[in-house]
Amino acid sequence: MIPLSEPNIEESAWMNIQDCLSTGWVSSAGSYVDKFEQLVARYCNCRHAVATVNGTSALHIALLLSNVRQGEYVITSNVTFVATANAIKYTGADPIFIDIDRETWQMNLDLLEAFLKNNTVQKNGRLYHKNGRAISVIIPVHVLGNICDMDRLKSICDEFKVQLVEDAAESLGSKYNGVHAGTLGSIGCLSFNGNKIITTGGGGMILTNDEELAVRAKHLTTQAKSDPLTYFHDEIGYNYRMVNILAALGVSQMESLDKFIDTKRKINNYYTDKLSQINDITFQKIGSDVETNYWLYTILSKQQCELSAYLQMNEISCRPLWTPMNRLPMFKKDIYINDRDCSYSIHSKSLSLPSSSSISTTELDSVINRIHQFYSNR
Ligand SMILES: *Cc1c(COP(=O)(O)O)cnc(C)c1O
């Protein structure tokens, strides 16, 4: 089976992890956590980074740092991994889902702006839905490494007095007008899950340029311990810190990040070059201000179901984008803003293809040949 997106681990990982094991620094203290945070912060040109156990916990803490309270609303994209919506629910807030743009597959900013204009009021510098509930944060999700029109989104956030938290879980290394994904809002969240562009097995990170937020992020992710000697905790905290062994893996992965992005760009160009003759296949549009990290190559096909079955029968992994949030049972009652439900049409046509940074040209060719075979048999 050719995998979809596989980890690619360097030799140096063994040495770093061995170092943790032999010195006994395996847990939530140790130099690799600091080193990994510094490497990611420096790479993204961001002042502070706080490592967490996964991307979901990073999103949860980011919302707490933004003072999201029970009964409020947080706006996000209807096409995302479930973690974004779950993190909103963990705070006691409810999501408002916005449909995606049919070309970029990111949050549709026309729909967002129309919704805010027609359904909200501002009082004492805060935004409220007409039903009286506060709207505190907007979370754009940089789906597949692409990024929406952030200049426009930022001015919407300024106009409507709402905070901007980025779900940059898939977009480490992507840039908007030269600025790194995850550093475009007040807080950004990364993931180092096994399928992401770099991995620590499981892991995440909170990015911010605000020192106060960074200090608070560290506090909340370490059980809010204010005195390590007497075990005095000054509020309800979380056990969300990344452990040293995993950070050691992260440190070695950072050596390869630029190489991985370069390889992913080549994979993208190779596929597009060989598949663009097929009429039924179309591609995600990347914004002109965006340099994407090309994390996971994804096509649209009207025959997605049949093509997917055919590829899998031939030992090639592939899968559609996630089931849209409004179709999941636990979010059925939440607000979904759309006019044509593009979320569903993209979901039902999308197919991600094998895009591991370790994929060989032979493997790429066999995916491409199978796709051509599929269409020539129709
Ligand atoms: C992977 C991912 C997350 C969550 O990350 P985990 O590390 O798996 O908790 C959140 N949002 C999006 C869009 C993701 O792709």
Q: pLDDT tens digits, residue range 77-132?
A: 999 999 999 999 999 999 999 999 999 999 999 999 999 999 999 999 999 999 99
Mean pLDDT within 136-145: 98
Name the average pLDDT for the chain.
96
Beta-carbon count within 10 A of 302 CB: 14
Q: What spacing in Å lies between the alpha carbon of 169 and ligand 1's midpoint?
A: 5
Strands (DSSP E) contained in the chain are 48-52, 73-77, 94-98, 120-123, 126-129, 135-139, 163-167, 175-176, 179-180, 187-191, 204-208, 225-227, 232-233, 281-283, 290-291, 298-301, 335-337, 350-352
For the segment 152-169, what is each residue's pLDDT rounded down to a tens digit? 999 999 999 999 999 999
Q: Residue 24 pLDDT more than 90?
A: no
CB atoms near residue 235 (< 10 Å)? 9
Say how many Å lie between the CA of residue 83 and the centre of ligand 1.
6
For ligand 1, pick from 193, 221, 240 the residue to mutate: most ligand atoms within 8 Å of CB.
Answer: 193
Ligand 1 in reach of 171 Cβ (< 6 A) = no
Q: Per-residue pLDDT averaged across 215-227, rounded?
A: 96
Q: Return the best residue to mutate from 56, 76, 79 for the ligand 1 pocket (most ligand atoms within 8 A of CB).
A: 56
Q: Does residue 145 surpass a pLDDT of 90? A: yes
Task: Confirm or reject: Cβ of 5 under 6 Å from ligand 1.
Answer: no
pLDDT of 30 higher than 90? no
Question: 303: CA distance to ligand 1 center in Å?
Answer: 28
The pLDDT tens digits for 275-333 are: 999 999 999 999 999 999 999 999 999 999 999 999 999 999 999 999 999 999 999 99
pLDDT number for residue 378: 80
Token readout for 27 is: 């847990």
CA of 217 to the centre of ligand 1 (A): 18
